[in-house]
Every structure is written in C-alpha cells, then in structure tokens.
Amino acid sequence: GFFAGKWCSYAAAPDLPHDQREEDGGALVFDTPPLDESVEILGKPEVTLNVSASNPLAMVAVRISDVSPDGKATRVTYGLLNL
C-alpha cells in the first residue's frame, strides 16, 4: 500500500513502513487482545486462507504488525501471493 515504505530501503526512517493504521481502511483486520508479556518470534510465519476471486487476476497481501498501547501499528513482516 501507500504506507508500506520503499522497496529495498536502506533502513533510514523515511524509507521504512509508516504507521499501518493508514492501510486498515482497505483491509480485513484481525486483532488480538494485548499480550501479557513480550513474545519473541523466530522463523517464517505462515497463514492458511480459503479465498475465491471474481477476477482472473488477484493478489492477497498479509501483514503482521505490532500495535503499541497508543494504537500505532508497526509492520513486523508481510507476504504477497499472486493468485
């Protein structure tokens, strides 16, 4: 989306993803309750979806964000699939 940051960024602030709440208006969003303690995630996250598309060309994007107490959503990782 528009707030995804630059492709192949140099990890400088203007190149990194912006607050992901700006993308939520055009997305299906699932939130968890606040976690009681920090979680360290290693490896490659996977998601299983059952989807259908009415167009011959379609794409699915999944992103995982860390939401701070003030609501700011920082993207942790994302994946894209061209259907």
**Residue ranges of E strands in the chain:** 59-67, 73-82
Mean pLDDT within 22-51: 85
Q: Which residue has the tokens 């998601």?
A: 47
What pLDDT is attached to residue 54?
A: 92
pLDDT in tens, 12-33: 555 666 777 677 777 888 888 9
Q: Residue 10, class by beta-carbon neighbours within 10 Å (0-12 exposed, 13-18 middle, 19+ buried)? A: exposed
Q: How many CA atoms lie within 13 A of 48 on its CB side?
A: 0
Neighbour-count burial for 50-59, b at 16+ CB within 10 Å, e otherwise? eeeeeeeeee
The pTM is what? 0.67
